[in-house]
């Protein structure tokens, strides 16, 4: 007598006393595509609200008032320029995360006909504002 195939999801057992294992059913292509689409949509929704504002040379929050005086400048070890003719732009205290953070100096190529004006904190009423370093025409 021929036995009929097990029902979908039915437990199978090869031998008596074996623990039954569920019948494995391959997923169809449309199911996989729907799952991939759902995962993609979930990722887009999850990361679309994530805004990363990196700390950088913005300093005092793009001209925002800071009520804590900047610390004295740090001593920096200035080595040899990596490329002849480059100039050293000194480090400065920037503002980020609710506190002053040291932004290290760096070597840069000079701009023809310009001079570097360094970053500077200036007193403004009850607080401080950072004047960004910039290249200024001679």
Residue 38 in tokens:
């759902």
Could you read off the pLDDT of 42-88 as tens digits, one per residue?
Answer: 666 566 554 444 444 444 445 688 999 999 999 999 999 999 999 99
Domain that holds residue 83: 52-138
**Which of 48, 66, 84 finishes a domain?**
48
- How many CB atoms are closer than 10 A to CB 39? 10
Decide: pTM greater than 0.75.
Answer: no
Do 135 and 89 belong to one domain? yes
How many domains, the chain? 2
Question: Does residue 114 have a pLDDT over 80?
Answer: yes
Do 32 and 86 belong to one domain? no
Do 57 and 105 belong to one domain? yes
> In this structure, is residue 11 part of a structural domain?
no
Do 60 and 128 belong to one domain? yes
Do 63 and 127 belong to one domain? yes
Do 74 and 132 belong to one domain? yes
> In this structure, is residue 4 part of a structural domain?
no
> In this structure, is residue 110 part of a structural domain?
yes
Question: Does residue 8 have a pLDDT over 80?
Answer: no
Burial 79-94 (b: 16+ CB within 10 A, else e): eeeeeeeeeebbbbbb
* DSSP 8-class letter at 66: B
């Amino acid at each position: 007598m021929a036995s009929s195939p097990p029902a979908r999801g039915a437990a199978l057992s090869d031998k008596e006393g074996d623990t039954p294992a569920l019948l494995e059913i391959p997923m169809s292509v449309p199911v996989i595509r729907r799952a991939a689409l759902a995962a993609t949509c979930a990722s887009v929704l999850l990361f679309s609200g994530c805004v990363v504002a990196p700390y950088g040379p913005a300093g005092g929050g793009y001209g925002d008032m800071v009520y804590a005086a900047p610390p004295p400048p740090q001593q920096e070890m200035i080595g040899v320029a990596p490329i002849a003719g480059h100039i050293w732009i000194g480090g400065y205290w920037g503002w980020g995360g609710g506190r002053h953070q040291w932004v290290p100096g760096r070597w840069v190529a000079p701009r023809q006909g310009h001079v570097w004006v360094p970053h500077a904190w200036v007193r403004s009423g009850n607080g401080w504002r950072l004047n960004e370093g910039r290249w200024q025409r001679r």
